[in-house]
Chains A and B, each alone.
Chain A
């Protein structure tokens, strides 16, 4: 394994990249579902009903988690690049994951 890949910040980079990839792949489905309401309200309602099962709830939790992870990871990047912060990078990375998890759990508690 390359030396830089053992750094905790490589994990932060990887999480940011994979969460971004997951979100990008999910978006076409998201837009398709919303676009259904253009065809008819009933089709949209059916699709929403279909997504009300527990499996979808867990998947939605995952998506909220990905979005929150990518959001806080992105804030971390913007802060590192634009503000003259040099230390404590690992703390920001950890805080990004913790806040994402908190937000996603909040969503999950509401969803069930």
Chain B
């Protein structure tokens, strides 16, 4: 196997004046080298630091890297565009501005008793999955195998086949296990195409595995946002208008995340107007990142709601209750199921800790409690297929061409099949992660794996169960409707029963194959997930230190299949959200656009010492309209309200309005100073 290394632009904006791969090809151990003329992913006009320009395949990773250093290249650097507001002013947009309106916002604001207005900012944050982006590509004659770290083996298969102009069945994609994606691994990626081309040229397998630095330059990010928001309300707490202008620092490529989504969907507000601008900048392309847009938009909206509650002198939880959205007002249709009010009810005891907690403030440490609501998709959808194979030994294999991206999918699918077949869990094995060894399955993104793949497995298991009963009826001469599966046995209404393996054994080497597919989502309904988080913080008002002490997370995601796995998902989401709230940010040199935080000492993910007590409560009511399973996804909901809940707790503790993520020491101290000056001015005007 050969190892690839990539020549990347050191400049945010540049032109390659000349490029000579000769010295690289002459370097020891080098078997192939490609440049912009050989592959569309390689460019002569890099638009961000880390943009790939050329790639080399060599016997060892070290030799490949040294060969890349030997490439003769002349750069012509240009001044980068880095400021998103500046880009919007200049019309440097990646897409048409996204505008939405319902009702009459201006009139509603004019008639409102109270109007609040604020600007919120969120920083660019980096995925930093434990496993970096990587692929091993192998050509055998005209057939290509791609071993890759991906959230969607079928998507990779189809994208690769389309690009190469070959039939999909000549591409096999394998991903048995992977070390995290968080949204950034939904496509083949340039590294895969480099490995494919180098493997084709050299006739050997080629591995292209990115380093942590490359990961943090060129594989995506959650783009920064600037949110200029207004809300108007009547004195009784009815929110009558929501108005938002969102500027997204998307980067050189990618998409503008739907940061306005929560403003459109979360509350039953009649008058809403949003405008979203996706700025094209000389920074790394963004990628989906765990609830893209909604994490950022919820921070702005839910902080604004608390500022509104303060002006209205209304309890923040009560304000949210009074503005509950009974329907989806964007498409004017009912929700398939919604238990957000039940989430709010179960938040009450956590919220009620507020008074005693605030009383626990001592010295410079001020304590407070904050909450934030959550809405997100998570219903999944068709198509997805699964096979359930029951052997003559009564053991079961679930086969599907999906993938477990580290979220516990294998366990969930085994549970579903085991329940349907009334077998103990250890009799069920799950085989995923190979496009040639299972039927099509959906992407593992958008909190959709369980709701998309789960029903297909359930249907397949039911099909297999039915076949077992048919055989038992035939062989044991019992009427089929008198039979059922219980505790690993075929049970007859007349009291007799047989172990499933005994029935299966009657067939010799034959197997039962159950087939299942994912049916459609309910028509005329909006399937969403909901929740609320209550955060408790302590703030050292002299040093700006913020400690998150406890977060209670109450989420409504339909039926919960695996409670332990589900609470792990909630904890993971909250911890990742905590990082985005307090310490993580991609920092750029303001002049050159160079990424200063490429390594994990400079880019600060939370450590285990930062993790608060996390209390997870799931409503666990199956969605009666959603599939035979009634389950929605949980990958994304828990990261959505964390930042706003923490920021609102900080306001509760200190009176300071933190409006910019991450809430570093300097942001906290800035907000505290602003609050002191505001209080002084207020005291002066009333005194």
Whether both chains belong to one complex is answered with: no
Chain B residues at the A interface, C-beta cutoff of 8 Å:
none
